[in-house]
Every structure is written in structure tokens, then in C-alpha cells.
Amino acid sequence: MTLDIFVSFLSQLTQTLLVVLIAPLMLGWVAQCRAWMQNRSGPGILQPYRVLFKLLEKDAVLAHNASPLFRSAPYIQFGCMVLAASVVPIIETNLLFAPAADVIALVGVFALARVFSALAAMDVGTSFGTLGARREMLVASLSEPALLMVFFTPLLIVQSSSLNTIVDTLAHREFALYPSLAFAAVAFVMVLLAENARIPVDNPATHLELTMIHEALILEYSGRHLALIEWANAIKFTTYCAIGIALFVPWGIAQAGGWQVLPGAILALFVKLGVAGAGLALLETISAKMRIFRAPEFLSMAFMLAALGMLTLLLLGA
Amino acid sequence: MSAQLINLMASLMLLIAFAMLAQRRILSLVYLFAWQGAVLAVNSLIVGWYTGHHELYLSAFFTVLLKVIALPMVLHYLIRRLGIQWDVETLINIPATMLAGIALVVFAFNLALPISQLAETITRGTLGIAIAVVLLAFLMMITRRKAVPQVIGFLAMENGLFFAATSATYGMPMVVELGILLDVIVGVLILGIFFFQVREAFDSLDLKHMEKLKESES
């Protein structure tokens, strides 16, 4: 009995550490793919690690009127993202932490991190922070219902809101065309782009005040705080990709307790994340940044697609 | 497997209907209309192959010939001649239109549910989608201000009717089908000439000008 708990604890630790450590690599891979597609040589896929080390070595500078909230927000964000990365079945189902949150609570975990980042941005009282917080909340208030709608389709297919059950059932069913899941998948990609401040909604590489959303939020941070926020965002991006993989291409995720299938599962994860990163880079290369007031339209489209997915599921049963 | 493919085609029809509702560019509307025709033809082929109703092959052939090739070419020509490639104005903003569209889909699905439960055809599930496609095209005609998108909405509605016929009774009799197709061609040709007349008279294709009955009121 104790051995069982020890083994599941170990596999939980493996997954969490793996995701936390490869998250910057994922961002670097997407940036590198984008660079290749734009005929640039690119900074190399290890660049996010170099940035993190650089930031961790620097001193953190705080504004005089910064409250404890400002100082604690990066840790809360990082903690939320690590929790999310531990709950989602990324290499294995039935993890130790998995009962902690189903898909709906997972959306809540992301929302918690977002609320603190917005509060911290407003804390110092600069105009940019407030502007960024408002824009972030505008995008979030529209992407969250869309994300929940996306989750409802696989939820209805499986009749359970636990990601474990969803992955176990979907990965071991007979192959069938699910048009509803295809709708949900497209909607999910749109939500992913919006939530992670990727190109059609926000450009993470810009510091132009008219367009930035995410960068405006973290403008006041420096040193280890900034490093933690950047790292948390990398984990968030990787976790989102992993949720997409778990819902729509779950083949290859290991069943519980099988040490011998774990290397295969990790290999499958790397292949799938690699393909997903290249695909996202392609999407970001071929689409232009939208005006901020087009973002509600983009997200309402995502919501509509997710709702259509659910409706077709109810009508066609597929 | 055929049932799954038919369901997939039905979902694609619905998706394209929504894409048309959300589309601002008039040329993209024409391309979407052509795609809808292509999906309709493939659906006819699958249903024909599965049920052994071989006249559906002929229907698919005419669909490709007319709705994928001929009508988009005519519309393309008209748009170029009239010089109206720019954005379409909508009466209601697009997110609101989408929500109205979802409400219509729910209504259509509810309407079709009792009928589908009685039917025993392989396509019974898709009747709701066919009704939804018709209603969405109708909504598009209502929310657009310019003449050309309204005509495309009309054509999309006709696509939806064909789809409904295929899913309810494996297609209409050939004579009826040919008659409708001919009507649509003649309709589009007449409307094409009509566009030029409207522009001649009002200097615009905005249909709100036609709501006034007397010229002197302006």
C-alpha cells in the first residue's frame, strides 16, 4: 500500500518537473519555428532559458508604493500554473493530484492566476498597468466562457468532468469521426491563442503601448519576479497545449502505474508538442495581429464554434 | 462509416453557413458559397452510393457544374464589373448575429427532432442541420444591407433546401430538381442585370434607397 503511494508520488513528481522544465523549451521551439518560417535564423530554442537565468541573476526593483500583493503575485501565478501542470494527465492518467481539480476547476485555477496578475498590475498605480489589466480582463471575460463551452463537448461524450476519465475513454474507444470534437478543437485553438497572448489577439514581442496587453501587465516587474512570471506563462502555454492533446489526440498517454510505458509516453508527448508548436508558429506567421476591438469578435467566434460542437453532438450523437 | 461521413458533411454545411454569416468580405462570401456547393455535392454522392439511388450522382454532377463553377464565376464577374470588392456592412454587429444564429440552430434542431425520431433513413439526423442552414441563410439575407450578399444568401438558402431534400427523402424527383436549378440560374442572371439598373438609378447597391417610393422625397 505504501509502495503504491510512493510510486504514484514519484510519477506525479516526474510529470510536474518535466512540464516545468520543458516549458521554456516549448516557447523557444515556437519562436524558432516562427523565425524559420520568416526566413530569419532565430535565437535558438534555448533562448528562453538564457533569459530566465539572466533575470534570476538580476536584482528585483520594486516601486516605493508597491504593496505585499505586488510582491506575492508572481509566486501565486507560478504556483497556480504548477498546480495546473500537475493535474492535467500529460504523460500518465490517474495521477496523485488528479482528483484535486476537474476541467471546470482547472479553468478556475487559470482565472485565479489571472486575477492576481491584473490586481498586481493595478497595484503600483501606473497608467500602463491599469490599461493592461483592463484589456486582459476584457479578453479573459470572453475567452473563459468559450473555454468552458469547449470542455462541455468531450464532457458530454464521456459523461464525466474528470480529465482522467475523458482521456481514458477517448484514447481507448473505437475510431469514429466526431464532427463535434473537430468544432471544439478549432475553438480550443482560438482560445489558446487568446489566453496565451499569441498573435491574432496580442503580440508578445511588442512594447508598443497601443497594442500590448500582456506586456503592459508585467511592465513594472523586474529580476526574479519577472523571471517567475515569464516561467509561469511558459508553463501555462505548455499546459494549454497538453490539455488540447489530452482532449483531442489522447493516444499515447500512459495508463496509471506502468513504468515500462512511461518512456513511450514521454516520447509521444515530445512529438505531439513539437507538432503543436510548429502548427501554432505557422498560424501565427500567416495571421496578422487584430485590432483590439476585433478580439471580442474573434472570441465570440470561438464561443460559437464550441456551442455548435455541443449542439451537433446533441443532434447527431457524434 | 457512411453515416459518420454524412454527419461530417452536415456539420461542414453548418460550419460554412456560420462562416458566411460572419464574413465581411464579399469575395470570400462567393468562395464560401462555392465550398458549400462542393460539400453538398459530396454529400449527395455519399448518400447516393450508400442507398443505391443513382440519380443522386446526376444531382451531384449538376450541383458541381452550377453551384461550384458557374454561379461563383457569374458572381465574381458581377463583383468585378460593379467594383464592389470591399467590406460588407451589416445591420447588426457580427457577435450579435452569431448569437441569433445559435438561437436559430437550437430552434431548428428542436423542430427536426420529432421528425427525425419517426424517420428510418440513414440521413435522419441531418434534417435539423438542413433546416438550420436554410434559416441561417435567411438571417444573412436579413442582416445584410447590400444587394450582392443578399443574393448569395438566397443561393445559400437554396443549397440548404437541396440538403433538406437529400436528408429527408434522398433527393427530389429529377424533374423538380432540374426545374429549381434552372430557376436559380435564370434568377441570378436577371438579378445580375438588375444590379446594374439599381446602380444606374441610385449610384449605390444599398437597398435602403429602394425603400423610398418617390424620388422627390430625397
Using an 8 Å Cβ cutoff, are B38 and B68 in contact? yes
> CA B66 to CA A56: how far, in whole Å?
65
Compute the half-sphere exposure of residue B134: CA atoms within 13 Å on the CB side of its CA. 16
Compute the half-sphere exposure of residue B132: CA atoms within 13 Å on the CB side of its CA. 33
Q: Which residue of B has its CA nearest to A311?
A: B106
pLDDT in tens, A76-134: 999 999 999 999 988 888 788 888 888 999 999 999 999 999 999 999 888 888 999 99
Q: Among A278, A298, A274, which Cα is nearest to A288's?
A: A298
Say yes or no: A311 contacts chain B, CB-CB below 8 A: yes
ipTM: 0.80
Please check whether residue B216 lies inside any domain of the structure.
no
| Lookup result for grid cell 475513454 | A169
**Structure confidence at residue A1 (pLDDT):** 62
Contact A300 B14 (CB under 8 A): no
Please check whether residue B198 lies inside any domain of the structure.
yes
Rounding to the nearest 10 degrees, give the CA dihedral for residues A130, A135, A138, A142: -140
Which residues in chain A have Cβ-Cβ distances shorter than 8 Å to B10? 179, 312, 316
Contacts of B58 (CB under 8 A, 6+ apart): B174
Say yes or no: A183 contacts chain B, CB-CB below 8 A: yes
CB atoms near residue A63 (< 10 Å): 12
Please check whether residue B217 lies inside any domain of the structure.
no
The predicted model gives B27-38 an average pLDDT of 93
**Structure confidence at residue A257 (pLDDT):** 59
Mutation to test the A interface, candidates B6, B7, B121, most A Cβ within 10 Å = B7
pLDDT in tens, A133-169: 999 999 999 999 999 999 999 999 888 888 888 888 8
Backbone phi, psi, residue A205, to 5°: -90, 0
Q: How many domains does chain B have?
A: 1
Say yes or no: A296 contacts chain B, CB-CB below 8 A: yes
What per-residue string of b and e applies to A5-14 under the rule 16 or more CB within 10 Å gives b?
eeebeebbee
> CA A146 to CA A149: how far, in whole Å?
5
Chain B residues interacting with chain A (CB cutoff of 8 angstroms): 4-5, 7-8, 10-12, 14-15, 18, 22, 94-95, 98-99, 101-102, 105-106, 109, 112-113, 125-126, 128-129
Residue A49 pLDDT greater than 70, yes or no: yes
pTM: 0.89
User: C-alpha cell of A274?
Assistant: 513539437
Contacts of A84 (CB under 8 A, 6+ apart): A101, A106, A109, A110, A235, A236, A239
Rounded to 10 deg, the angle between the A2-37 and A223-248 helix axes is: 100
pLDDT in tens, A192-213: 999 998 888 888 777 777 777 8
Which residues in chain A have Cβ-Cβ distances shorter than 8 Å to B129? 312, 315
Please check whether residue B218 lies inside any domain of the structure.
no
Please check whether residue B8 lies inside any domain of the structure.
yes
The predicted model gives A12-25 an average pLDDT of 93
Please check whether residue B43 lies inside any domain of the structure.
yes
What confidence tier does A57 reach under pLDDT thresholds 50, 70, 90?
A: very high
* Domain residue limits at B40: 2-209
The predicted model gives B11-22 an average pLDDT of 91
The share of chain B scoring above pLDDT 70, in percent, equals: 95
DSSP 8-class letter at A236: H
Contacts of B213 (CB under 8 A, 6+ apart): none
